[in-house]
Chain A
Amino acid sequence: MVIENPWAGLRELTAARLALGRCGHSLPTGELLRFQLAHAQARDAVHHPLDVSSLGLGGALVLSSAARDRTTYLRRPDLGRNLDPASAGLLQKGDWDAVVVVADGLSATAVHRHAGPVMDALMGQLEGWRIAPVCVVLQGRVAIGDEIGERLGARQALVLVGERPGLSSPDSLGAYLTWDPKVGRTDAERNCVSNIRYEGLDPVLAARRIAELMHAARGKQLSGVNLKASNLIDC
Protein backbone atom coordinates (compact mmCIF):
# COMPACT_ATOMS: atom_id res chain seq x y z
CA MET A 1 0.00 0.00 0.00
CA VAL A 2 2.80 2.40 0.90
CA ILE A 3 5.22 3.27 -1.89
CA GLU A 4 8.54 4.06 -0.28
CA ASN A 5 11.15 6.34 -1.82
CA PRO A 6 14.56 4.76 -2.44
CA TRP A 7 16.30 8.13 -2.07
CA ALA A 8 15.87 8.35 1.73
CA GLY A 9 19.67 8.80 1.91
CA LEU A 10 19.13 12.43 0.86
CA ARG A 11 17.78 13.10 4.36
CA GLU A 12 21.37 13.17 5.61
CA LEU A 13 21.79 16.46 3.72
CA THR A 14 18.86 18.40 5.19
CA ALA A 15 16.26 18.37 7.95
CA ALA A 16 13.54 18.92 5.34
CA ARG A 17 10.80 16.29 5.18
CA LEU A 18 12.18 14.38 2.20
CA ALA A 19 11.44 10.95 0.76
CA LEU A 20 8.26 10.61 2.79
CA GLY A 21 6.80 7.92 0.54
CA ARG A 22 3.15 7.89 -0.37
CA CYS A 23 -0.09 5.96 -0.34
CA GLY A 24 -1.88 6.99 -3.48
CA HIS A 25 -1.07 10.68 -3.64
CA SER A 26 -1.25 11.13 0.14
CA LEU A 27 1.13 10.70 3.08
CA PRO A 28 1.72 7.38 4.84
CA THR A 29 -0.05 7.32 8.21
CA GLY A 30 3.11 7.62 10.32
CA GLU A 31 4.25 10.77 8.49
CA LEU A 32 0.78 12.31 8.73
CA LEU A 33 0.67 11.82 12.50
CA ARG A 34 4.26 13.04 13.00
CA PHE A 35 3.30 16.26 11.23
CA GLN A 36 0.24 16.77 13.43
CA LEU A 37 2.28 16.20 16.61
CA ALA A 38 4.88 18.75 15.46
CA HIS A 39 2.10 21.26 14.77
CA ALA A 40 0.70 20.79 18.27
CA GLN A 41 4.17 21.34 19.78
CA ALA A 42 4.72 24.51 17.76
CA ARG A 43 1.32 25.82 18.87
CA ASP A 44 2.32 25.17 22.49
CA ALA A 45 5.56 27.14 22.03
CA VAL A 46 3.56 30.21 20.96
CA HIS A 47 1.62 30.25 24.21
CA HIS A 48 4.41 29.31 26.63
CA PRO A 49 5.21 32.26 28.99
CA LEU A 50 8.70 33.76 29.39
CA ASP A 51 10.47 32.92 32.64
CA VAL A 52 12.76 35.91 33.21
CA SER A 53 14.55 34.40 36.21
CA SER A 54 15.80 31.48 34.10
CA LEU A 55 17.67 33.74 31.67
CA GLY A 56 20.64 34.46 33.95
CA LEU A 57 20.62 38.12 33.02
CA GLY A 58 21.45 39.80 36.33
CA GLY A 59 20.68 43.51 36.49
CA ALA A 60 18.29 43.38 33.58
CA LEU A 61 15.35 45.77 33.42
CA VAL A 62 12.10 43.83 33.07
CA LEU A 63 9.59 45.71 30.94
CA SER A 64 6.16 45.04 29.46
CA SER A 65 4.73 46.01 26.12
CA ALA A 66 1.29 47.59 25.89
CA ALA A 67 -0.17 44.15 25.05
CA ARG A 68 -1.43 42.75 28.35
CA ASP A 69 -1.61 39.08 27.43
CA ARG A 70 -0.89 36.63 24.64
CA THR A 71 -4.33 36.90 23.02
CA THR A 72 -4.04 40.68 22.81
CA TYR A 73 -0.47 40.33 21.58
CA LEU A 74 -1.53 38.08 18.68
CA ARG A 75 -4.42 40.30 17.61
CA ARG A 76 -2.80 43.73 18.13
CA PRO A 77 0.73 43.92 16.71
CA ASP A 78 0.77 47.68 17.30
CA LEU A 79 0.55 47.18 21.08
CA GLY A 80 3.48 44.77 21.08
CA ARG A 81 5.67 47.46 19.49
CA ASN A 82 5.13 50.00 22.30
CA LEU A 83 5.95 49.96 26.00
CA ASP A 84 3.23 50.24 28.60
CA PRO A 85 3.44 53.62 30.40
CA ALA A 86 4.85 52.18 33.64
CA SER A 87 7.70 50.48 31.77
CA ALA A 88 8.39 53.57 29.68
CA GLY A 89 8.80 55.54 32.90
CA LEU A 90 11.64 53.25 34.01
CA LEU A 91 13.90 54.30 31.13
CA GLN A 92 16.13 57.34 31.48
CA LYS A 93 18.09 59.07 28.79
CA GLY A 94 21.76 58.19 28.85
CA ASP A 95 24.73 58.05 26.52
CA TRP A 96 25.07 54.49 25.22
CA ASP A 97 26.74 52.93 22.21
CA ALA A 98 24.16 50.15 22.18
CA VAL A 99 21.30 48.53 24.04
CA VAL A 100 20.40 44.85 23.91
CA VAL A 101 16.69 44.06 24.17
CA VAL A 102 15.53 40.49 24.84
CA ALA A 103 11.86 39.92 23.94
CA ASP A 104 9.72 36.80 24.10
CA GLY A 105 8.23 37.41 20.64
CA LEU A 106 6.49 34.28 19.41
CA SER A 107 8.67 31.74 21.20
CA ALA A 108 9.74 32.12 24.81
CA THR A 109 11.34 28.69 24.36
CA ALA A 110 13.82 30.21 21.90
CA VAL A 111 14.73 32.94 24.39
CA HIS A 112 15.11 30.44 27.25
CA ARG A 113 17.51 28.30 25.25
CA HIS A 114 19.57 30.74 23.23
CA ALA A 115 19.46 34.34 24.50
CA GLY A 116 21.98 33.65 27.28
CA PRO A 117 24.57 31.91 25.06
CA VAL A 118 24.32 34.66 22.43
CA MET A 119 24.76 37.38 25.06
CA ASP A 120 27.75 35.64 26.65
CA ALA A 121 29.52 35.28 23.31
CA LEU A 122 28.58 38.77 22.12
CA MET A 123 29.72 40.87 25.07
CA GLY A 124 33.37 39.81 24.72
CA GLN A 125 33.37 41.19 21.19
CA LEU A 126 32.13 44.64 22.18
CA GLU A 127 34.99 45.65 24.42
CA GLY A 128 35.11 49.33 25.20
CA TRP A 129 31.48 49.83 24.17
CA ARG A 130 29.15 51.58 26.57
CA ILE A 131 26.30 49.05 26.71
CA ALA A 132 23.05 50.01 28.45
CA PRO A 133 21.48 47.61 30.96
CA VAL A 134 19.80 44.67 29.20
CA CYS A 135 16.05 45.17 28.75
CA VAL A 136 13.84 42.07 28.91
CA VAL A 137 10.39 42.69 27.41
CA LEU A 138 7.27 40.62 27.96
CA GLN A 139 4.84 40.44 24.98
CA GLY A 140 7.35 42.34 22.85
CA ARG A 141 7.84 42.63 19.09
CA VAL A 142 10.95 43.62 17.13
CA ALA A 143 10.03 47.29 16.80
CA ILE A 144 9.85 47.76 20.58
CA GLY A 145 13.63 48.15 20.39
CA ASP A 146 13.04 51.45 18.61
CA GLU A 147 11.21 53.00 21.55
CA ILE A 148 13.61 51.55 24.10
CA GLY A 149 16.68 52.70 22.17
CA GLU A 150 15.24 56.16 21.69
CA ARG A 151 14.28 56.58 25.35
CA LEU A 152 17.69 55.36 26.54
CA GLY A 153 19.64 57.44 24.02
CA ALA A 154 21.38 54.40 22.52
CA ARG A 155 23.08 54.73 19.13
CA GLN A 156 22.01 51.24 18.13
CA ALA A 157 19.53 48.68 19.38
CA LEU A 158 19.92 44.93 19.12
CA VAL A 159 16.71 42.97 19.67
CA LEU A 160 16.94 39.25 20.43
CA VAL A 161 13.46 37.86 19.91
CA GLY A 162 11.76 34.47 19.72
CA GLU A 163 10.88 33.85 16.08
CA ARG A 164 7.63 32.35 14.94
CA PRO A 165 7.94 28.65 15.73
CA GLY A 166 8.33 26.30 12.81
CA LEU A 167 7.23 22.68 12.75
CA SER A 168 10.80 21.48 12.98
CA SER A 169 12.13 24.39 15.02
CA PRO A 170 9.96 25.68 17.87
CA ASP A 171 13.03 27.37 19.44
CA SER A 172 14.53 29.65 16.80
CA LEU A 173 15.89 33.03 17.97
CA GLY A 174 16.20 36.10 15.72
CA ALA A 175 18.49 39.12 16.12
CA TYR A 176 17.52 42.50 14.66
CA LEU A 177 19.93 45.42 14.56
CA THR A 178 18.76 49.02 14.14
CA TRP A 179 21.09 52.02 13.91
CA ASP A 180 19.76 55.22 15.53
CA PRO A 181 16.64 53.53 16.90
CA LYS A 182 13.54 55.64 17.12
CA VAL A 183 9.82 55.06 16.85
CA GLY A 184 8.78 54.71 13.22
CA ARG A 185 11.84 52.88 11.84
CA THR A 186 10.97 50.40 9.06
CA ASP A 187 12.14 46.82 8.62
CA ALA A 188 14.25 47.90 5.63
CA GLU A 189 16.33 49.91 8.11
CA ARG A 190 17.26 46.82 10.12
CA ASN A 191 19.69 43.95 9.65
CA CYS A 192 18.64 40.50 10.68
CA VAL A 193 20.42 37.34 11.75
CA SER A 194 17.84 34.61 11.98
CA ASN A 195 17.42 30.95 12.83
CA ILE A 196 19.72 31.05 15.85
CA ARG A 197 19.58 27.62 17.53
CA TYR A 198 21.95 24.70 17.91
CA GLU A 199 20.53 22.85 14.89
CA GLY A 200 20.60 26.02 12.77
CA LEU A 201 22.97 28.95 13.23
CA ASP A 202 24.96 28.15 16.37
CA PRO A 203 24.64 30.89 19.05
CA VAL A 204 28.41 31.48 19.16
CA LEU A 205 28.65 31.89 15.39
CA ALA A 206 25.54 34.05 15.47
CA ALA A 207 27.18 36.30 18.08
CA ARG A 208 30.20 36.74 15.78
CA ARG A 209 27.96 37.73 12.92
CA ILE A 210 25.96 40.12 15.12
CA ALA A 211 29.17 41.70 16.44
CA GLU A 212 30.42 42.21 12.88
CA LEU A 213 27.15 43.89 11.98
CA MET A 214 27.28 46.09 15.07
CA HIS A 215 30.84 47.20 14.29
CA ALA A 216 29.91 47.80 10.65
CA ALA A 217 26.82 49.78 11.64
CA ARG A 218 28.93 51.94 13.94
CA GLY A 219 31.51 52.49 11.20
CA LYS A 220 29.00 53.42 8.52
CA GLN A 221 26.50 55.07 10.86
CA LEU A 222 23.60 53.11 9.33
CA SER A 223 21.80 49.79 9.24
CA GLY A 224 19.43 48.03 6.87
CA VAL A 225 19.55 47.21 3.18
CA ASN A 226 22.40 49.70 2.63
CA LEU A 227 24.61 47.82 5.08
CA LYS A 228 25.43 44.80 2.95
CA ALA A 229 26.94 41.87 4.77
CA SER A 230 29.13 40.67 1.90
CA ASN A 231 32.40 41.61 3.56
CA LEU A 232 31.41 40.01 6.83
CA ILE A 233 32.44 36.61 8.09
CA ASP A 234 30.63 33.59 6.73
CA CYS A 235 29.00 31.61 9.50
Chain B
Amino acid sequence: MPDEILVVKDLKTWFPIRAGILQKTVAHVRAVDGVDLEVRKGETFGLVGESGSGKTTLGKSVLRLIKPTDGQVYFDGIDVTKASKKELTHLRRRMQFIFQDPYASLDPRQTVGSTLVEPMKIHKLVSSKAEAMKRAKELLLRVGLNEEHLFRFPHEFSGGQRQRIAVARALAVDPDFIVLDEPTSFLDVSVQAQVLDLLKELQKELGLTYVFISHNLSVVQYMSDRVGVMYLGKLVEDAERDVLYKYPEHPYSYFLMAAIPVPDPEYKKPSKLLTGDVPSPVNIPPGCRFNPRCPYATDKCRSGDMPFYTGSGGSYHRVACHYNIDFDSGNEVLRPQMS
Protein backbone atom coordinates (compact mmCIF):
# COMPACT_ATOMS: atom_id res chain seq x y z
CA MET B 1 0.00 0.00 0.00
CA PRO B 2 1.63 3.26 -1.03
CA ASP B 3 1.48 5.89 1.69
CA GLU B 4 -1.17 8.49 1.19
CA ILE B 5 -0.28 12.04 2.10
CA LEU B 6 -3.80 13.32 1.48
CA VAL B 7 -7.06 11.54 2.11
CA VAL B 8 -10.31 13.29 1.29
CA LYS B 9 -13.49 11.71 2.60
CA ASP B 10 -16.97 12.62 1.40
CA LEU B 11 -16.00 16.27 1.11
CA LYS B 12 -18.81 18.73 0.51
CA THR B 13 -18.49 22.44 -0.08
CA TRP B 14 -21.79 24.17 -0.58
CA PHE B 15 -22.33 27.88 -1.05
CA PRO B 16 -25.62 29.28 0.21
CA ILE B 17 -27.80 31.38 -2.06
CA ARG B 18 -29.51 34.05 -0.04
CA ALA B 19 -32.56 36.00 -1.04
CA GLY B 20 -35.15 38.36 0.38
CA ILE B 21 -34.95 41.04 3.03
CA LEU B 22 -33.94 38.58 5.73
CA GLN B 23 -31.30 37.05 3.46
CA LYS B 24 -32.69 33.62 4.08
CA THR B 25 -30.84 30.76 2.51
CA VAL B 26 -33.06 29.57 -0.32
CA ALA B 27 -30.80 27.04 -1.96
CA HIS B 28 -27.22 25.87 -2.20
CA VAL B 29 -24.68 25.82 -4.97
CA ARG B 30 -23.28 22.36 -4.48
CA ALA B 31 -19.83 23.11 -5.87
CA VAL B 32 -18.21 20.05 -4.34
CA ASP B 33 -20.71 17.40 -3.40
CA GLY B 34 -19.21 14.29 -1.89
CA VAL B 35 -15.70 13.66 -3.15
CA ASP B 36 -13.50 10.78 -1.98
CA LEU B 37 -9.90 11.00 -3.00
CA GLU B 38 -6.46 9.74 -2.05
CA VAL B 39 -3.20 11.30 -3.10
CA ARG B 40 0.05 9.42 -2.59
CA LYS B 41 3.32 10.89 -1.54
CA GLY B 42 5.47 12.15 -4.41
CA GLU B 43 2.86 11.77 -7.12
CA THR B 44 0.97 14.28 -9.22
CA PHE B 45 -2.75 13.84 -9.09
CA GLY B 46 -4.40 15.57 -12.04
CA LEU B 47 -7.92 16.91 -11.68
CA VAL B 48 -9.79 17.68 -14.88
CA GLY B 49 -13.26 18.91 -15.59
CA GLU B 50 -15.15 21.69 -17.26
CA SER B 51 -15.79 25.06 -15.69
CA GLY B 52 -18.22 24.76 -12.82
CA SER B 53 -17.31 21.15 -12.13
CA GLY B 54 -15.89 22.13 -8.74
CA LYS B 55 -12.23 21.35 -9.28
CA THR B 56 -10.93 24.69 -8.01
CA THR B 57 -13.33 24.66 -5.06
CA LEU B 58 -12.10 21.18 -4.20
CA GLY B 59 -8.49 22.35 -4.36
CA LYS B 60 -9.22 25.30 -2.12
CA SER B 61 -11.28 23.24 0.30
CA VAL B 62 -8.40 20.81 0.74
CA LEU B 63 -6.26 23.65 2.05
CA ARG B 64 -9.26 25.12 3.89
CA LEU B 65 -8.93 28.34 1.94
CA ILE B 66 -12.68 27.79 1.72
CA LYS B 67 -14.23 26.05 4.70
CA PRO B 68 -15.84 22.81 3.60
CA THR B 69 -19.46 22.21 4.59
CA ASP B 70 -19.01 18.58 5.46
CA GLY B 71 -16.54 15.72 5.23
CA GLN B 72 -12.92 15.27 6.19
CA VAL B 73 -9.56 16.10 4.70
CA TYR B 74 -6.65 14.27 6.28
CA PHE B 75 -3.23 15.64 5.53
CA ASP B 76 -0.57 13.30 6.87
CA GLY B 77 -3.15 11.99 9.31
CA ILE B 78 -4.32 15.39 10.61
CA ASP B 79 -7.89 16.45 9.88
CA VAL B 80 -7.56 19.81 8.15
CA THR B 81 -11.27 20.57 8.46
CA LYS B 82 -11.12 20.42 12.25
CA ALA B 83 -7.68 21.92 12.80
CA SER B 84 -7.36 24.86 15.19
CA LYS B 85 -5.99 28.15 13.98
CA LYS B 86 -2.55 27.32 15.28
CA GLU B 87 -2.53 23.87 13.74
CA LEU B 88 -3.75 25.33 10.50
CA THR B 89 -0.87 27.80 10.31
CA HIS B 90 1.47 24.91 10.85
CA LEU B 91 -0.28 22.83 8.19
CA ARG B 92 -0.28 25.64 5.67
CA ARG B 93 3.49 25.79 5.80
CA ARG B 94 3.44 22.28 4.43
CA MET B 95 0.55 22.78 2.02
CA GLN B 96 0.80 25.53 -0.56
CA PHE B 97 -1.40 26.79 -3.35
CA ILE B 98 -0.41 28.27 -6.71
CA PHE B 99 -3.13 30.31 -8.35
CA GLN B 100 -4.23 30.51 -11.93
CA ASP B 101 -3.71 34.19 -12.59
CA PRO B 102 -0.19 35.42 -11.87
CA TYR B 103 -1.37 38.96 -12.59
CA ALA B 104 -3.73 38.85 -9.61
CA SER B 105 -1.91 36.58 -7.19
CA LEU B 106 1.17 38.78 -6.66
CA ASP B 107 0.95 41.98 -4.59
CA PRO B 108 1.67 44.79 -7.07
CA ARG B 109 3.12 47.01 -4.34
CA GLN B 110 5.62 44.54 -2.94
CA THR B 111 8.95 43.84 -4.53
CA VAL B 112 9.67 40.25 -5.47
CA GLY B 113 12.14 40.09 -2.58
CA SER B 114 9.62 41.06 0.07
CA THR B 115 7.00 38.77 -1.50
CA LEU B 116 9.40 35.86 -1.00
CA VAL B 117 10.62 36.88 2.45
CA GLU B 118 7.20 37.46 3.99
CA PRO B 119 6.13 33.80 4.22
CA MET B 120 9.54 32.87 5.68
CA LYS B 121 9.04 35.46 8.42
CA ILE B 122 5.49 34.37 9.16
CA HIS B 123 6.58 30.79 9.62
CA LYS B 124 9.79 31.82 11.44
CA LEU B 125 11.98 29.87 9.07
CA VAL B 126 14.80 32.37 9.09
CA SER B 127 16.61 34.08 11.94
CA SER B 128 17.90 37.17 10.21
CA LYS B 129 17.10 39.43 7.33
CA ALA B 130 20.35 38.54 5.60
CA GLU B 131 19.52 34.87 5.76
CA ALA B 132 16.05 35.53 4.37
CA MET B 133 17.44 37.49 1.44
CA LYS B 134 19.99 34.78 0.78
CA ARG B 135 17.23 32.19 0.66
CA ALA B 136 15.11 34.40 -1.57
CA LYS B 137 18.01 34.72 -3.99
CA GLU B 138 18.48 30.96 -4.07
CA LEU B 139 14.79 30.50 -4.76
CA LEU B 140 14.82 32.96 -7.63
CA LEU B 141 17.82 31.24 -9.20
CA ARG B 142 16.11 27.91 -8.71
CA VAL B 143 13.01 28.98 -10.65
CA GLY B 144 15.11 30.41 -13.47
CA LEU B 145 15.19 34.11 -12.58
CA ASN B 146 18.10 36.36 -11.56
CA GLU B 147 19.24 37.90 -8.30
CA GLU B 148 18.61 41.37 -9.69
CA HIS B 149 14.92 40.54 -9.98
CA LEU B 150 14.65 40.69 -6.17
CA PHE B 151 14.13 44.42 -6.15
CA ARG B 152 11.69 44.62 -9.01
CA PHE B 153 7.92 44.81 -8.90
CA PRO B 154 5.55 42.26 -10.47
CA HIS B 155 4.42 44.57 -13.29
CA GLU B 156 7.94 44.47 -14.73
CA PHE B 157 7.63 40.75 -15.48
CA SER B 158 5.94 38.74 -18.20
CA GLY B 159 3.26 36.19 -17.39
CA GLY B 160 5.68 33.27 -17.44
CA GLN B 161 8.12 35.06 -15.16
CA ARG B 162 5.33 36.00 -12.77
CA GLN B 163 4.24 32.39 -12.54
CA ARG B 164 7.86 31.51 -11.71
CA ILE B 165 7.75 34.06 -8.90
CA ALA B 166 4.53 32.48 -7.63
CA VAL B 167 6.27 29.10 -7.65
CA ALA B 168 9.24 30.55 -5.75
CA ARG B 169 6.87 32.04 -3.16
CA ALA B 170 5.18 28.68 -2.64
CA LEU B 171 8.58 27.04 -2.21
CA ALA B 172 9.75 29.69 0.26
CA VAL B 173 8.19 27.80 3.17
CA ASP B 174 9.59 24.45 2.12
CA PRO B 175 6.25 22.68 1.56
CA ASP B 176 5.53 18.98 0.98
CA PHE B 177 2.35 19.43 -0.95
CA ILE B 178 1.22 21.98 -3.53
CA VAL B 179 -2.15 22.49 -5.17
CA LEU B 180 -1.58 23.95 -8.63
CA ASP B 181 -4.72 25.58 -9.96
CA GLU B 182 -4.45 25.99 -13.74
CA PRO B 183 -0.88 27.29 -13.42
CA THR B 184 -0.33 27.68 -17.16
CA SER B 185 -3.74 28.67 -18.47
CA PHE B 186 -2.70 32.34 -18.59
CA LEU B 187 0.51 31.57 -20.46
CA ASP B 188 1.23 31.22 -24.14
CA VAL B 189 2.02 27.75 -25.47
CA SER B 190 5.59 28.70 -26.29
CA VAL B 191 6.37 29.35 -22.61
CA GLN B 192 3.88 26.93 -21.06
CA ALA B 193 6.29 24.00 -21.30
CA GLN B 194 9.02 25.98 -19.55
CA VAL B 195 6.84 26.37 -16.46
CA LEU B 196 5.57 22.78 -16.60
CA ASP B 197 9.11 21.43 -16.84
CA LEU B 198 10.23 23.62 -13.95
CA LEU B 199 7.41 22.16 -11.85
CA LYS B 200 8.42 18.64 -12.82
CA GLU B 201 12.07 19.22 -11.95
CA LEU B 202 11.19 20.75 -8.61
CA GLN B 203 8.98 17.82 -7.79
CA LYS B 204 11.77 15.36 -8.43
CA GLU B 205 14.33 17.40 -6.54
CA LEU B 206 12.26 18.25 -3.48
CA GLY B 207 10.01 15.21 -3.36
CA LEU B 208 6.87 17.31 -3.67
CA THR B 209 3.34 16.02 -4.05
CA TYR B 210 1.10 17.89 -6.46
CA VAL B 211 -2.57 18.17 -7.11
CA PHE B 212 -2.67 19.59 -10.60
CA ILE B 213 -5.97 21.19 -11.59
CA SER B 214 -6.66 22.06 -15.20
CA HIS B 215 -9.31 22.06 -17.85
CA ASN B 216 -6.61 21.36 -20.42
CA LEU B 217 -6.49 17.60 -20.74
CA SER B 218 -3.26 17.52 -22.71
CA VAL B 219 -1.43 19.46 -20.02
CA VAL B 220 -2.82 17.22 -17.29
CA GLN B 221 -1.70 14.21 -19.27
CA TYR B 222 1.81 15.65 -19.48
CA MET B 223 2.02 16.35 -15.76
CA SER B 224 0.13 13.66 -13.89
CA ASP B 225 0.64 10.14 -12.62
CA ARG B 226 -3.01 9.62 -11.84
CA VAL B 227 -5.99 11.60 -13.06
CA GLY B 228 -9.47 12.20 -11.72
CA VAL B 229 -12.33 13.50 -13.85
CA MET B 230 -14.86 15.76 -12.15
CA TYR B 231 -18.38 16.49 -13.27
CA LEU B 232 -20.81 18.69 -11.39
CA GLY B 233 -19.14 18.46 -8.00
CA LYS B 234 -18.33 14.77 -8.06
CA LEU B 235 -15.50 12.59 -9.28
CA VAL B 236 -16.82 10.34 -12.03
CA GLU B 237 -13.65 8.40 -12.74
CA ASP B 238 -10.10 8.18 -11.52
CA ALA B 239 -7.28 5.98 -12.70
CA GLU B 240 -3.64 5.80 -13.63
CA ARG B 241 -3.03 8.36 -16.34
CA ASP B 242 -2.43 5.98 -19.22
CA VAL B 243 -5.42 3.85 -18.33
CA LEU B 244 -7.71 6.86 -18.26
CA TYR B 245 -6.44 8.43 -21.46
CA LYS B 246 -6.38 5.21 -23.45
CA TYR B 247 -9.41 3.44 -22.09
CA PRO B 248 -11.78 5.87 -20.43
CA GLU B 249 -14.75 3.95 -19.06
CA HIS B 250 -17.11 6.66 -17.87
CA PRO B 251 -19.08 8.10 -20.79
CA TYR B 252 -18.26 11.64 -19.67
CA SER B 253 -14.54 10.93 -19.67
CA TYR B 254 -14.91 9.39 -23.09
CA PHE B 255 -16.69 12.43 -24.55
CA LEU B 256 -14.30 14.80 -22.85
CA MET B 257 -11.34 13.03 -24.43
CA ALA B 258 -13.07 12.96 -27.81
CA ALA B 259 -13.74 16.71 -27.70
CA ILE B 260 -10.12 17.76 -27.35
CA PRO B 261 -8.92 19.47 -30.50
CA VAL B 262 -6.00 17.62 -32.04
CA PRO B 263 -3.12 19.47 -33.72
CA ASP B 264 -3.36 17.38 -36.85
CA PRO B 265 -5.64 18.37 -39.74
CA GLU B 266 -5.57 14.86 -41.18
CA TYR B 267 -6.80 13.15 -38.03
CA LYS B 268 -10.33 11.79 -38.28
CA LYS B 269 -12.03 12.47 -35.00
CA PRO B 270 -14.68 10.26 -33.50
CA SER B 271 -17.83 11.89 -34.76
CA LYS B 272 -19.75 11.53 -31.52
CA LEU B 273 -20.27 14.78 -29.70
CA LEU B 274 -21.73 15.56 -26.37
CA THR B 275 -24.82 17.72 -26.61
CA GLY B 276 -26.08 20.27 -24.12
CA ASP B 277 -24.31 22.04 -21.29
CA VAL B 278 -23.32 21.31 -17.73
CA PRO B 279 -26.48 21.70 -15.59
CA SER B 280 -26.55 24.25 -12.79
CA PRO B 281 -24.99 22.98 -9.56
CA VAL B 282 -28.07 24.33 -7.77
CA ASN B 283 -30.48 21.88 -9.37
CA ILE B 284 -28.50 18.69 -9.57
CA PRO B 285 -30.23 15.94 -11.52
CA PRO B 286 -31.12 12.88 -9.44
CA GLY B 287 -29.26 9.63 -9.94
CA CYS B 288 -26.13 9.89 -12.00
CA ARG B 289 -25.41 13.59 -12.52
CA PHE B 290 -24.44 13.01 -16.09
CA ASN B 291 -27.68 11.26 -17.07
CA PRO B 292 -29.39 14.20 -18.87
CA ARG B 293 -26.50 14.45 -21.33
CA CYS B 294 -25.57 10.79 -21.50
CA PRO B 295 -26.64 8.96 -24.66
CA TYR B 296 -26.35 5.63 -22.83
CA ALA B 297 -28.52 6.56 -19.84
CA THR B 298 -31.23 4.13 -18.74
CA ASP B 299 -33.89 4.32 -16.04
CA LYS B 300 -31.42 2.93 -13.55
CA CYS B 301 -29.25 6.03 -14.07
CA ARG B 302 -32.07 8.46 -13.38
CA SER B 303 -32.58 7.70 -9.72
CA GLY B 304 -30.83 6.37 -6.67
CA ASP B 305 -27.20 6.59 -5.64
CA MET B 306 -24.25 6.41 -7.93
CA PRO B 307 -21.59 4.22 -6.35
CA PHE B 308 -18.06 3.69 -7.58
CA TYR B 309 -17.28 0.50 -9.47
CA THR B 310 -13.87 -0.96 -10.08
CA GLY B 311 -12.74 -0.29 -13.61
CA SER B 312 -10.74 -2.65 -15.74
CA GLY B 313 -7.54 -0.67 -15.12
CA GLY B 314 -6.78 -2.31 -11.79
CA SER B 315 -7.77 -1.73 -8.20
CA TYR B 316 -7.10 2.00 -8.37
CA HIS B 317 -9.41 2.50 -11.29
CA ARG B 318 -12.77 3.75 -10.08
CA VAL B 319 -15.72 4.48 -12.35
CA ALA B 320 -19.03 5.98 -11.29
CA CYS B 321 -21.14 4.32 -13.95
CA HIS B 322 -23.53 1.38 -13.70
CA TYR B 323 -22.57 0.14 -17.12
CA ASN B 324 -19.55 -1.13 -18.90
CA ILE B 325 -19.99 0.52 -22.26
CA ASP B 326 -18.36 -0.33 -25.53
CA PHE B 327 -18.21 3.15 -27.05
CA ASP B 328 -17.74 1.91 -30.58
CA SER B 329 -20.73 -0.37 -30.75
CA GLY B 330 -22.84 1.25 -28.03
CA ASN B 331 -23.32 -2.04 -26.18
CA GLU B 332 -23.72 -1.69 -22.46
CA VAL B 333 -23.34 -4.34 -19.82
CA LEU B 334 -24.30 -3.89 -16.18
CA ARG B 335 -21.26 -3.83 -13.94
CA PRO B 336 -21.12 -6.25 -11.02
CA GLN B 337 -21.76 -4.60 -7.67
CA MET B 338 -18.63 -3.76 -5.71
CA SER B 339 -18.34 -5.69 -2.52
Q: Do A and B bind each other?
A: no
